[in-house]
Structure 1
Amino acid sequence: MILSFFDQFASPSFLGIPLVLLSMTFPALLLPAPGNRWITNRLSTLQSWLLLSTTKQLMTPLNKKGHKWALILTSLLILLLTINLLGLLPYTFTPTTQLSMNMALAFPLWFATLLTGLRNQPSASLGHLLPEGTPTPLIPALILIETTSLLIRPLALGVRLTANLTAGHLLIQLISTATITLLPIMPTISLLTSMILLLLTTLEVAVALIQAYVFVLLLSLYLQENI
């Protein structure tokens, strides 16, 4: 029974072929594509407005040099949003519950922001490792602490996204299992747990949206420090 709870996080495969790539590319097919007409439909207009508002929000802390990252950050946000939300549907797989995938997204982008800072303003980027006015005896310890906090950023990005989604999926499965088990024995308690399950599902939808936004927002803040 304990193993069955974690079977939902196992990477799906068909005839020995992993289906993770398919589960990552399929959500993009559900997004409305822009048409050739001058006046688009309501869904495309709403999508364009949401993308424009989100991109402006992400680019607000950045200067004009950082606006080159708008396409990358917005595309990453759409990818995480679609994967997280579709992963809440029954009989689906959520690739963002895999730490390996989240680290594969977090580490290269964080490293790119770091290289951008070292190329454009090396003195300022290295200056973050030592705050101004630090006493001389504390310099080695502070440099070590700041370097560790810098290197742990991609790990924190990946673990945060993985832990939040994994915990939510486990809670949903546990409460749904309890609801089905208690239905023939104690229908009143089963009704109560089903209401809790509905509230938890709503909360998990909010978590899927917020965690995708936080992931991209932190990357934009890391970029702000290096531009």
Structure 2
Amino acid sequence: MSLSLFDQFSTPFILGLPLILIAMLMPSSFLLPQSSRWLNNLILLLQTYMLANGTKQIFSPINEGGHKWALILMTLLTYLLTLNLLGLLPYTFTPTTQLSMNMAFAVPLWLATVILGMRNQPSMSLAHFLPIGTPTPLIPVMILIESISLIIRPLALGVRLTANLTAGHLLIQLVSMAAFAFINTSLTASALITTLLYLLTLLEVAVAMIQAYVFVLLISLYLQENS
């Protein structure tokens, strides 16, 4: 009996308990806590350096009022990055391939930026619904289009992260199945496909890192518009 390719994205269960809960708690065990020593080890220094530079790059265009979000967004970036890379290990499950989980991150943060804009600068936030110089007959249509584009933002955030990770995992699965299929017929073709599989794995590592960064970067852009 052959399983569906999409079975790898269903939540596994052991003794009736979903393993997605364990997978979501794993990032906290990978990150090293801050040390009170004068000199830290290389891994902790690299972790601190990447977080400091990532924070500076993301929040440099945002005014000081939006810098309060630095802890939340950088924690989210580290969490998503760890979960995305965790799913590339054998016998593991990637929680970020679940649209429901990604939407649970996207919707509250997007809604918080909208509420923040309505509270701090309501005139500017409402002005986004109607561009300057719009002809009078097109005003209802433009307001409708801008409202739809605003509401669709969290959906785009969640779907982008889910689709990119799902497509990468499916492609790796298909290439690995092809490599096994050619073992008995052509060792040369199997070796070439295996080499391609390694390259795809490296590409998927880059995609996992980039998608976590893009997710947080887009939220910071929404924050920049409303802060």
Determine if the alignment matches structure 1 residue 159 to structure 2 residue 165. Answer: no
1:131 shift after superposition: 0.5
AA paired with 1:119? R
Q: Secondary structure at the match of 1:80?
A: helix
- Give 1:197's aligned residue: 197
Which ranges in structure 1 are unaligned for 5 or more consecutive residues?
A: none
Distance 1:214 1:26 in 2: 22
1:135 shift after superposition: 0.8
* Length-normalised TM-score, structure 2: 0.97
AA paired with 1:48? T
AA paired with 2:167? A
- Give 1:176's aligned residue: 176
Which ranges in structure 2 are unaligned for 5 or more consecutive residues?
A: none
- Give 2:186's aligned residue: 186
Determine if the alignment matches structure 1 residue 32 to structure 2 residue 32. Answer: yes
- Give 1:138's aligned residue: 138
1:212-223 matches, cutoff 5 A: 212-223=212-223
Distance 1:75 1:2 in 2: 40
Determine if the alignment matches structure 1 residue 5 to structure 2 residue 38. Answer: no
Distance 1:184 1:222 in 2: 53
1:86 shift after superposition: 1.1
1:27 shift after superposition: 2.0
Distance 1:92 1:111 in 2: 32
1:13-24 matches, cutoff 5 A: 13-24=13-24
Q: Secondary structure at the match of 2:133?
A: coil
Distance 2:205 2:181 in 1: 25
- Give 1:64's aligned residue: 64
AA paired with 1:181? A
Q: Evaluate the alpha carbon distance shift between residue 13 and residue 140 of structure 1 in structure 2; reply closer, same or farther with a 3 A threshold.
A: same
AA paired with 1:209? M
Let me know the Cα RMSD of the aligned residues: 1.1
Distance 2:27 2:179 in 1: 30
Q: Give the number of aligned pairs.
A: 227
- Give 1:89's aligned residue: 89
4+ long deviations beyond 4 Å? none
Identical residues among aligned pairs (%) = 64
